[in-house]
Amino acid sequence: MDGISLPKSVLDFSRHEELCLDLPVKNSFAEIYTHEEFHSTLVREKARADRHGHGFSLVAIEVSGLDDINSFTKNLQKLVRASDDIGWFDHKVLGVYLFNTSAKGAWKFVDKCRRTMGVGFSTFNCSVYCYPNEWCNL
């Protein structure tokens, strides 16, 4: 491949880090999916969870009362992992898909958001949903 060798395993990947330095990092450039895109993501991830036997959580955040939604979403983007997604659940609720995360882990994420974002983020504006339902008790 034109003199570039690809890593044969994850262990070899560290040798190729210099090739990836200019790539954007998901956490700092995370996309906010439209309602349709986010719905498609949730459908796909539900199928993946069924196939692989893991679960996920969805944090729904009511944002209709926020003055500065752009700052809020930029701060939220900094808190998600590369395996998570943010999108519009409906016209006034942002959803955060948390891969392989139980309800307890999702509430920890909500608490981290509250501590990090301070004013403008209230746990009263949040709901946590789990799939499958057994993950709500973990």
Within a domain: 120: yes
Domain around 62: 27-137
Of the chain, the end-to-end C-alpha distance in Å amounts to: 47
Within a domain: 127: yes
pLDDT tens readout for residues 13-59:
444 444 444 433 333 335 799 999 999 999 999 999 999 999 999 99
CA distance 27 to 102: 21
pTM over 0.85: no
CATH of the domain at 38: 3.30.70.270
Burial category of 131 from C-beta neighbours within 10 Å (exposed 0-12, middle 13-18, buried 19 and up): middle
